[in-house]
Amino acid sequence: MTKSQDRPYELVLSVDDNAIDRYICSTIVKKFNFAKRVLEFDMATKALDYLKENAHIPENIPQIIFLDINMPGMNGFEFLEEASKLSNVIKNTCCIVMLTSSLNPDDRDRASRSTIVKDYINKPLSQSKLDEVEEIFNSQFNGCGEVA
């Protein structure tokens, strides 16, 4: 992961109701110097509120959002519906990655139909999965948050 070690992303969000999964995600992101900051949210509604409140503060807009599917209250797919209504600044800057334990092919298909989901990976997060996310981010956004 040479690229991310040279220039880590500024901000990554981990949105997952499971504290252990959030811890693993944050630890892997930090261990491999993937991002300078990681913010954790235990509820999709809290992450959505954060995005709304920070839509006009560039340094607070994440480049990557790791999003779980199965959460109480608002699930990952409901989050995607609401996130698609957010400002273009956020939609054009964030790379949403479904990070889930779901092996249900219907979940994978549904995620692939979303225009704002860039990848679907199974837990746990690992260095090789970070490399995959980085490749997708760089191809979609030229590595700097601008849509290719």
- Residue-wise pLDDT for 16-61, tens only, equals 999 999 999 999 999 999 999 999 999 999 999 999 999 899 899 9
Q: Is residue 146, in this structure, part of any structural domain at all?
A: no
Residue 148 within any structural domain of the chain: no
Q: What is the DSSP letter of 71?
A: -
For residue 16, being part of any structural domain is answered with yes
Residue % of the chain over a pLDDT of 70 = 90
Residue 50 located in a structural domain: yes
Q: How far is CA 122 from CA 37, 55, 66, 78, in A?
A: 22, 29, 11, 19
Please state the rounded mean pLDDT for residues 112-135.
93
**pLDDT-based confidence at residue 126 (cuts at 50, 70, 90):** very high
The C-alpha atoms of residue 74 and residue 23 are separated, in whole angstroms, by 21
Q: Quick check: 144 pLDDT over 70?
A: no
Domain count of the chain? 1
In a domain, 118, yes or no: yes
Tell me the three state secondary structure of residue 108.
helix
- CATH label of the domain that carries residue 102: 3.40.50.2300
Report which residue type is found at 92: N
Residue 147 lies in a domain: no
- Please name the residue ranges forming H helices in 8-142: 19-31, 44-53, 76-83, 88-91, 105-113, 127-141
CA 131 – CA 129 distance, rounded (Å): 5
Range of the domain at 13: 2-141
Mean predicted confidence (pLDDT) in 113-140 = 90
